[in-house]
Amino acid sequence: MVMTRPTNRGAATDAHDAASRRVVARVPGVPGGRAVVGGLLVALAGVGTFVSWQQASGAPDHTYAVAARTLHPGDPVTAEAVRFERIDLPDGVARGAFRTAADLEGRVLVAPVAEGELLQHGALSDQGRAEPAAEVSVALGRDLAVDGRLRTGDTVDVYATHDDGTTVVADGVRVISVTESGGSFGDGRELTVTLALTDPSRRVPVIHAARDGQITLVRTTHVTRGSSSTGADRPATGDGAAGATAEESGAAGAGGQAGPGGGG
């Protein structure tokens, strides 16, 4: 009997070993773990950006008063003059704005406000001081009007100087506007000051002083009025003059006080 020995044992063994060491290749097109994590981070960043944009583009929480039309000094703040719009304002600006119609009641403009502009405290009078006012303009030199430094919204005392002395004919008067006489071709030495006269009895003394004497305006915007000085809220006496103080009496000289219209 003839016995033969297989001659391919080594080959069989090598084939078996090769099968046991088979490597599974990654399927083309499937991302790895690092790519998946990166994509997730990008997605999260996109979601955060969208949420931030949505919050920023949302409606503001508060409404504030803006001018519904161009407003001029002396104009009362009426329902037709304002509208309320939702606006995001910094805290400092919001404190000077108006959120309700009740906050605006009884106020008048002391500075011009263009249509669509925010109404703020600096442009309006104090609440409750919106009496109807007649307006009168007087022309005078800069040196008689605080060197031309008067501004809309200032308050002034009106003094009249005649041959026999100086008296105060109106006090606590609000300045409506200040312009240079002669327009853009003026030399700037003379001003036209428009005043608001809420007391009808003061109109004649102021006009008479402007035509017959010399008017001097004393700014009293930041003056605290005491009981011994002429008070802005004190009713006019006699023909509408506020009455002279002791200082003004001295200025009148030995001839005594002159009447608000030069004795009239």
Q: Which pLDDT belongs to residue 98?
A: 93
Instruction: Looking at the structure, tell me whether residues 98 and 203 fall in a common domain.
Output: no
Q: Does 63 reside within a domain?
A: yes
What letter would DSSP give residue 194? E
Q: Does 76 reside within a domain?
A: yes
Considering its fold, how many domains does the chain have in total?
2
Span 173-208, pLDDT tens digits: 888 888 887 654 445 688 999 998 888 899 999 999
Say which CATH number the domain at 106 has.
Answer: 3.90.1210.10
Instruction: Looking at the structure, tell me whether residues 146 and 243 fall in a common domain.
Output: yes
pLDDT at 259 over 50: no
pLDDT at 11 over 80: no
Instruction: Looking at the structure, tell me whether residues 126 and 69 fall in a common domain.
Output: yes
Q: Does 17 reside within a domain?
A: no
Instruction: Looking at the structure, tell me whether residues 237 and 206 fall in a common domain.
Output: yes
Q: Does 164 reside within a domain?
A: yes
Instruction: Looking at the structure, tell me whether residues 118 and 144 fall in a common domain.
Output: no
Cβ–Cβ under 8 Å, residues 64 and 118: yes
Q: Token pair of 182, please?
A: 């002669």
Q: Does 67 reside within a domain?
A: yes
Q: Does 5 reside within a domain?
A: no
Q: Which residue has the higher pLDDT, 35 or 176?
A: 176
Instruction: Looking at the structure, tell me whether residues 169 and 224 fall in a common domain.
Output: yes
53-80 as b/e: b if 16+ CB within 10 A: eeeeeeeeeeebbbbeeebebbbbbeee
Q: Which pLDDT belongs to residue 107?
A: 82
Whether the pTM exceeds 0.85: the reply is no
Domain extent, residue 121, equals 58-130
Q: Does 48 reside within a domain?
A: no
Q: Does 29 reside within a domain?
A: no
Span 161-177, pLDDT tens digits: 988 899 999 998 888 88
Mean pLDDT for 96-110 is 86
